[in-house]
Structure 1
Amino acid sequence: MEKKKNKGMNLFRDWFLNNRFTVSLLNILLFFLIIWLFNEISFVLQPAWIFLFAVLPPIILATVQYYLMNPVVDFFQEKLKVPRIVTILLLFLLVLGLLIWMINSLIPLIQSQVDSLVRNWPKIWKSINNITQDLLHDSHFKGIKSNLFAAINNIEKNVFKSWQDTANLAISNISSAVSVFGVVFMTLLTAPFVLFYMLKDGHKLNAYLTQFAPRRWQDGFSSMLHDINEAVGSYVRGQIVVAFWVGIIYAIGYNLIGLPYGTALAVFAAFMLLIPYFGTFIALIPVLIIAAITSWGMLINVLIVFVIEQTIETRFISPFVVGNRMKMHPITTILLLIGASAVWGLPGVIFGIPIYAVIKIIVTRSFNYFREVSRFYNDEDLFETQNNSKIELNKGDIDNHD
């Protein structure tokens, strides 16, 4: 009876307690059970989500500016021994001067071009229809004529319907519009104060967070926070600096060839470049349309400007500013953007890559730590065990021979 009991306990220990596969399944089950419990009590976390979404916009805006300004503040403090407060105040004055210049010079020019584009859009659309119909009269396009006409009618109906729905929604949700205006106002009002203290005390954040980690993990935890900060900072600075210079190149090129609404389209291209990979082609669509209805020569000039910009961006600006610090394969980036846009829309496209970089660093470091402490991945112990086994076998052979 005692032997059966011991045998049952051994089977239970071997197949349940000491079985890695069973333990892994239990951990996965517990993980999803915790997610289910949080979903069931989501009403408890509702105030926390409301608070988070209220404070997130100024924090995001301040964080973007922080990653642009902090290298300058660190350089003046470490190399030139200038106090951080002095450098921060000078940078704030410089940004204020740039904003005043933009309000007085650049914004009125862009606004006038956008207003002109909106007023002339019916004529532009009519010209597109005329060009399309001229092409369809060609005998080579007879096979797709009916399908293309149906597609154009569909686009017109959908565009009209979407504009009508948008107008109705805007009229029926004036309170929402007022709420959005309030969020924008509060973001612009509070972001400078958040930015000031981030620039002043941000370099202390790593040490502050590290002290809460267990003592044996503090070095690795501090190194992980440093890597996360470097990855996110490189991405933010790279995207914004590249977008700025691309906007400058397009503005110069479009104005040199005399493209209508060139400055507004260049600013649009700079903003669209914040959407990786796809932003460039999205920004090119209205440029090609306006160039095509202007003249075929203008279309060729636009394509020449695009080729020059892409050459400068890919050969000089991006390698110098961004480099390969994100260590992401282009296929991984494209698939990530497609998946993130399907799940979270535009915010997923914009924030998908830095979030992926943060998760990748955490998972990689956690896995490396697991390899160090786990017997399953301890190659040195395995090698020593195999060597000891070989020595014992050889010793046994010698004894048998004797």
Structure 2
Amino acid sequence: MDFKSYRTSIILALVSGLLLSTFWFFPDFAFIIFLSLLLQLVLRPVMNLILRFMRWRFSNGIAAGITMILFIALLILFLTLLSRSFLPTFTRFISDLPNLTLNLQDIQIFNDSHFLATEIDALLIEMRSFSAQILRSSLSIALSIFSKFIDFVIIIFVTFYLLKDGHLIQSYLAGLFPHASYTRIMTLFDRILDGLRAYIFSQLIMCLITAVVVFIYFSMQGLPYASVFAFLSGLAEFIPVLGPTIASAFGTILTIPTAPSLVWQTLAFYIILTQVNHNIIYPAIIGKAVNLHPIAIILGVILGDELLGGAGMFLAVPFIVILGIIIDDIYKDRMIVNHAKNLAKTVLPSSTETKK
């Protein structure tokens, strides 16, 4: 094997493995960088819009600063609305959760099955412990929030510089590879960013649509905790396939003690919602930008959970997107090199014969 012909691909594979390993050895650092990258992808269109209308007045730095200020203002508004409408309902839901699970024990189908009865008892114990821990550990929660706030500030600054100097950083990183591969690496970076952008925007739209539809259904049926189940269903969309399934099961099961007559209707609602989302809305939104098979998604989510827990489930699909694009680039480069070698073997003998 001619390693010189494939040196860029080899370096690319080694660097990719090294970067992925940082999530195992330096998770906090890796999460901050990766979340900053995703946030930059979301805010980049806003910055481009500002530059388009204020082309002769603003530099990249000023446009990036305005973009971050708008984002922070929007985030504060969202958190204010969330604290007034969602948090009281969520607090009541956490307090009532042990009673809701306790009511499940009175259902005949659970009493007839020893396995289900055992699982419900275990769930009840966990829910009681979970709710009591939340109510009694306000100080720990406050300290945790403060720690996450520091991480949030770091993410804001990193995102600002990615917006301001993103192209320069991209060009610098491409310059670290062999000079002949500069254009290839720049194109690869663009493909990765476009793939991640398509994924994150599609997921945000899916989360919003799912949350609104679930909230409308629970409100129209008079079911309690509409905002809680809407939030959980929307958030679950960030874990494709497995997330919506778990959220649907959770919402249906907790309908049993609150509105037994609506259990089958709620189950049918979640099934229809899931099918419409992932067979009609999701393909229409994302198109062919991120072409992933459900098996790859499921295995990636499971592996992410095994390695990094909940954060790994959230980051699994973006990782698969990046790896898929890199593998595709390496494969195409190998085909091009092999084609060039075969062409050279065909041309050289004919040239020799002509000289004779």
Tell me whether the two structures share a fold, i.e. TM-score over 0.5. yes
1:194 corresponds to: 158
The one-letter code sitting in structure 1 at the alignment partner of 2:343 is E
Instruction: Tell me whether 1:254 sits opposite 2:202 in the alignment.
Output: no
Within the candidate set 62, 67, 86, 2:41 is matched to 67
The one-letter code sitting in structure 1 at the alignment partner of 2:40 is Y
Q: Secondary structure at the match of 2:106?
A: helix
The aligned runs of 1:302-313 (5 Å cut-off) are 302-303=266-267, 305-306=269-270, 309-310=273-274, 313=277
Q: 1:236 to 1:119 in 2, by over 3 A?
A: same
The one-letter code sitting in structure 1 at the alignment partner of 2:81 is S
Instruction: Tell me whether 1:110 sits opposite 2:86 in the alignment.
Output: yes
CA–CA separation in structure 1 for the residues paired with 2:303 and 2:24: 24
1:96 corresponds to: 72
1:226 is displaced (CA, Å) by 1.3
The aligned runs of 1:118-197 (5 Å cut-off) are 118-131=94-107, 133=108, 135=109, 145=112, 148-157=113-122, 160=125, 180-181=144-145, 183-197=147-161
1:327 corresponds to: 291
Q: 1:123 to 1:370 in 2, by over 3 A?
A: closer
Deviates more, 1:187-196 or 1:219-228: 187-196
Identity of paired residues, percent? 19
CA–CA separation in structure 2 for the residues paired with 1:295 and 1:354: 38
Larger Rg: 1
CA–CA separation in structure 1 for the residues paired with 2:222 and 2:139: 43
Gaps of 5+ in 1: 1-19, 24-33, 39-44, 138-144, 392-402
2:204 corresponds to: 240
**Which TM-score applies when normalising by structure 2?**
0.77
Within the candidate set 253, 272, 285, 2:249 is matched to 285
The one-letter code sitting in structure 1 at the alignment partner of 2:121 is E
Deviations 1:111-169 (A, max 9, x none): 221222223223322321112x2x478xxxxxxx3xx234423542475379669989x
The one-letter code sitting in structure 2 at the alignment partner of 1:74 is N
- The question of whether the paired residues in 1 share the 8 Å contact of 2:305 and 2:311 is answered with yes
How many residues align? The count is 337
CA–CA separation in structure 2 for the residues paired with 1:57 and 1:332: 22
Q: 1:93 to 1:136 in 2, by over 3 A?
A: closer
Gaps of 5+ in 2: 4-13
The one-letter code sitting in structure 1 at the alignment partner of 2:210 is V
CA–CA separation in structure 1 for the residues paired with 2:32 and 2:104: 42
1:380 is displaced (CA, Å) by 3.1
Root mean square deviation, CA, Å:
4.2
Structure number with the bigger relative contact order (C-alpha 8 A, sep ≥ 6) is: 2
1:300 is displaced (CA, Å) by 4.3
CA–CA separation in structure 2 for the residues paired with 1:98 and 1:342: 35
Instruction: Tell me whether 1:267 sits opposite 2:243 in the alignment.
Output: no
The aligned runs of 1:202-217 (5 Å cut-off) are 202-217=166-181
1:11 corresponds to: none
**Which TM-score applies when normalising by structure 1?**
0.69
1:56 is displaced (CA, Å) by 3.4
- The question of whether the paired residues in 2 share the 8 Å contact of 1:371 and 1:378 is answered with no
Q: 1:283 to 1:59 in 2, by over 3 A?
A: same
CA–CA separation in structure 2 for the residues paired with 1:165 and 1:265: 18
Q: Secondary structure at the match of 2:214?
A: helix
Instruction: Tell me whether 1:363 sits opposite 2:327 in the alignment.
Output: yes
